Structure 1
Amino acid sequence: MHPVDAPTIVDLFAGAGGISEGFRLEGFRALAASDIDPDACATYKLNFPGAKVIHGDVRKEAVAREILEASQGADVVVGGPPCQAFSQVRNHIRIIDDPRNSLYKEFVHIVSEVRPKVFLMENVTGIDQMGFREQIVSDLELGGDYVVMPQVIDAADVGVPQTRKRLIFIGVRSSLGLAAPSVEQSGITRSLALRRLMKKGDRGYKYVLMAEADLFTSHLGRVLADPMDMTAVTASQAISDLQVLRAGDRLDQIDYSKLPAPQSAYQQFMRDGSQGILSNVQVPRLMEDTAQRLRAIPPGGNHRDLPEALTQRNLTGQKWGQENGSGKLSRRHFYAYRRLHPDVWSWTLNTKADSVYHYKDVRALSVREFARLHSFPDRFVFTTDSRPGPLDGRHDGGAAHSRYRQVGNAVPPLLARACAAAIRRSVFDALAVESLQRALKAA
């Protein structure tokens, strides 16, 4: 529980609540949140019972009005609005005016109406690659009302066991007279990388963590290898205590007494605040075709490690998915044959259970293991709206797929926490010091 005078946030396009969780870890209190996905809203409600959760399309007047009413007095507005037109817009067209960017426009509008002390907007780094950073900063400055700091942050550089680059815009109200903060990063993702090496005797390949000569420091190598240092976290440091889970397990909860003791500081941190029962541990069944291929892929490997015989479309006669007429796996299948490496962070997770497989066991990961790699603590439970069938904003695929999707779409909480820590120090701590100094002078 946070004190009632804790800085408050409103989370737009909140999904399951990754940004809100990161800010909560840093002492902020969620006031309200909105999203179009009813299942994500159900998860948010479960994990933030004190917040008002608004389900619906923010472009609809009634929904926008409800969000604005719930946001009055908020200290911080956060969110990651989809920006569909960034790949087509030309520099002479203002991004906010493109009709395909209506969600981005709504974010800017809500900030302009609420006038929070601080805002944070998250988006993909493709915006940078297409040269739109300056235009977005101009829109977010609201004619000089805000000082805006854009920054690319890799989640693995702030302690998330997953590489995931995001472009973060932090804006501070100009009238406060404070600079918009930047977020400190370890830089470890630029110093270390997996390399594919031939095994001795031409017996296939292995993946080895190697240093980038120009950037590597021995300190960072020690940091990653130390299970008690959370500066950087490997896949095994994140999920090795959950190795008891098995493919096809149908139970979605397990008692912590059935698990080994935490094997790293990160695992202990993930368990803090949980109530003895771990949720979201169900593991998908595995087709024999997939199992055969995974056995041929070393930790850290992918479809490139498959021998020719295992690239056939059907190995055991089981029919699955669409055929492409070639009798071979197609490019669209390649992303599905990737195994974690225990000694380094995960690659960027997407919204599907088959986007990553265990580094040791021949199986997919549970939603909980996805969540661990995303830095959601174990007390954070993923659920779905109890109403069956199609609902406004619900994605097809069923409850299990929805939970993977909610994790994969979320901003990693520890990435959000790093931002929240910078905001707290640069803005709220500074304001508290100013207030104290004024009080002392008045006395």
Structure 2
Amino acid sequence: MTTLKVVDLFAGAGGLSEGFRQAGYTIIAGSDNDPDATATYATNFPEAQVITGDIRAPHVKARILELAKQADVLVGGPPCQAFSQVRNHSRMIDDPRNSLYREFVDVLKQSLPLAFVVENVTGMDQMGVREQITADLSLEGEYVVHPQVLDAADFGVPQTRKRLLFIGVRTRKGMAPPVLEGSGAASSISLTRFTGNRKPRYQVVVQQHIRSLRSGQALANDDDLSVVTAADAIGDLAQLPVGNRIDALPYSELAPARSAYQRAMREGAGALLANVQVPRINADTELRLNGIPPGGNFRDLDAQLLERYLTGQKWGQDNGSGKLSRKHFYAYRRLHPDIWAWTLNTKGDSVYHYCVARALSVREFARLQSFPDRFVFLTDPRRGMIEGRHNGGPAHSRYRQVGNAVPPLLARSVAAHLRIQLDNYLRKPSRHKKAG
């Protein structure tokens, strides 16, 4: 296979890079402003140059450009903070709040790789924004660009996570941006709440048409990697001890792998599994979790469990009402074992286990994001608020790194489809990958 080089901007921990590496690309560089994320990136991509710093700083930009000009593919998720400018007819790229996005476009313009992949949240996919970004990235016809929204659950990730992707290829090279189509499971399988005389319960419901039924069969088969449940992903880690401060455990002390997904995640990880610390849990939270069925949340709690303090232990802020203040859909959400997870965020208490009254470890977050077990999440060993670091401490940083990442299995599918176009072009006689 042809060697294809990738540079990853705004790389975070490296979800996009991991997916492209799994698809056979060579990662030559990754950059990010967060020193904790680049510590993780450097450990997991020793073959790559790692650039820590603000891309707007001249010395950082110069290093990035030097490496980007060697790349065949430029990837990244540049933050776009301002969408409202669409309503006043100004260009998004001109808004000062979108300076990082503008830097990505500039690096693309100066390096002109064969292809690029830009990912972002679907919140930016509003009237006019998609068209603006497509036009910006096309560089006045230099690239053919195809935007598309993909759900990670349709690509073997045990989590529903929609992302807006812009895939572009050089216009004059005779290639076409790949259009991806996954299993369709995310739109045909749902978790439904049932009530009645009994306590609320949640059940997986499959739509009654052929493709949906096939997805349902795949969901029920723990040896089918096309559709993966939460239990398929983390069932072997259920007995991780709560409050455990040791962040690596031998696999010999854990349950054996019980699904094809768990076996795949364990490949190449060695004898120890890292990032297995489980946060402590207070007695009130444990009581509430025991009162919520798998797949449930705050609204399933009995009235007595809505009291602010249940065991006399004072914790958190007291709103003076005597009632629990976390009255929103995302409070105390428990996974359901028979379907994928909802979209994870960056906080360790955003999700609770389906059969154990506890939060998840960073490793379980990583499994639900499709990071293999050999991928270790770290932080910069320097203490305090160093430049680029986010508040919250090392534990929060690791959850944040995982929660912000692109699922590697989604990235791998994108990379594999793009590779078909790139390989076909590079196999043509008298072609050079950086020509033109």
The two structures have a TM-score, normalised by structure 2, of 0.95
How far did 1:215 drift?
7.7
Is 2:423 the partner of 1:429?
yes
Aligned to 2:336: 341
- For residues 287-339 of structure 1, give each alpha carbon's deviation from its aligned partner in whole angstroms, at most 9, with x where no partner exists: 11110100000000000101122122222232333333333223576523000
SS of the equivalent of 1:157 reads helix
Is 2:109 the partner of 1:115?
no
Looking at structure 2, the residues matched to 215 and 142 of structure 1 have their Cα atoms a distance apart, in angstroms, of: 42
- For residues 1-36 of structure 1, give each alpha carbon's deviation from its aligned partner in whole angstroms, at most 9, with x where no partner exists: xx9x62111100000000000001100111111111
8 Å Cα contact 2:206/2:213 also seen in 1: no
How far did 1:211 drift?
1.9
How far did 1:258 drift?
1.5
Aligned to 1:268: 263
Closer, same or farther in 2 for the Cα pair 1:417/1:91, shift >3 Å?
Answer: farther
Closer, same or farther in 2 for the Cα pair 1:242/1:100, shift >3 Å?
Answer: same
Aligned to 2:404: 409
Aligned to 1:312: 307
Is 2:384 the partner of 1:365?
no
Closer, same or farther in 2 for the Cα pair 1:213/1:222, shift >3 Å?
Answer: closer
- Give the partner amino acid of 2:82: A
Is 2:287 the partner of 1:326?
no
Task: Show the 5 A alignment for 1:12-161.
Answer: 12-90=9-87, 92-161=89-158
Aligned to 1:211: 206
8 Å Cα contact 1:87/1:130 also seen in 2: no
Task: Show the 5 A alignment for 1:181-220.
Answer: 181-198=178-195, 202-213=197-208, 217-220=212-215
How far did 1:203 drift?
2.7
SS of the equivalent of 1:217 reads helix
SS of the equivalent of 2:398 reads helix
- For residues 168-212 of structure 1, give each alpha carbon's deviation from its aligned partner in whole angstroms, at most 9, with x where no partner exists: 00000112111111112111111110010126xx23110000123
Aligned-pair identity in percent equals: 60
Gaps of 5+ in 2: none
- Give the partner amino acid of 1:267: Q
How far did 1:232 drift?
0.7
8 Å Cα contact 1:191/1:215 also seen in 2: no
Looking at structure 2, the residues matched to 176 and 218 of structure 1 have their Cα atoms a distance apart, in angstroms, of: 41
- Give the partner amino acid of 1:305: D
Looking at structure 2, the residues matched to 217 and 415 of structure 1 have their Cα atoms a distance apart, in angstroms, of: 20
Aligned to 2:413: 418
SS of the equivalent of 1:15 reads coil
8 Å Cα contact 2:15/2:411 also seen in 1: yes
Is 2:170 the partner of 1:176?
no
Looking at structure 1, the residues matched to 58 and 107 of structure 2 have their Cα atoms a distance apart, in angstroms, of: 12
Looking at structure 2, the residues matched to 97 and 279 of structure 1 have their Cα atoms a distance apart, in angstroms, of: 43
SS of the equivalent of 1:85 reads coil
Looking at structure 2, the residues matched to 162 and 424 of structure 1 have their Cα atoms a distance apart, in angstroms, of: 25
8 Å Cα contact 2:85/2:92 also seen in 1: no
8 Å Cα contact 2:93/2:99 also seen in 1: yes
- For residues 150-179 of structure 1, give each alpha carbon's deviation from its aligned partner in whole angstroms, at most 9, with x where no partner exists: 000000011100000000000001121111
Q: 2:163 aligns with which of 163, 166, 176?
A: 166
Looking at structure 1, the residues matched to 78 and 324 of structure 2 have their Cα atoms a distance apart, in angstroms, of: 35
Looking at structure 1, the residues matched to 33 and 289 of structure 2 have their Cα atoms a distance apart, in angstroms, of: 37
Moved more, 89-98 or 139-148: 89-98
SS of the equivalent of 1:30 reads strand
8 Å Cα contact 1:251/1:281 also seen in 2: yes
Tell me the C-alpha RMSD between the 2 structures.
Answer: 1.7
- Give the partner amino acid of 1:323: D
The two structures have a TM-score, normalised by structure 1, of 0.94
Closer, same or farther in 2 for the Cα pair 1:88/1:143, shift >3 Å?
Answer: closer
Gaps of 5+ in 1: none
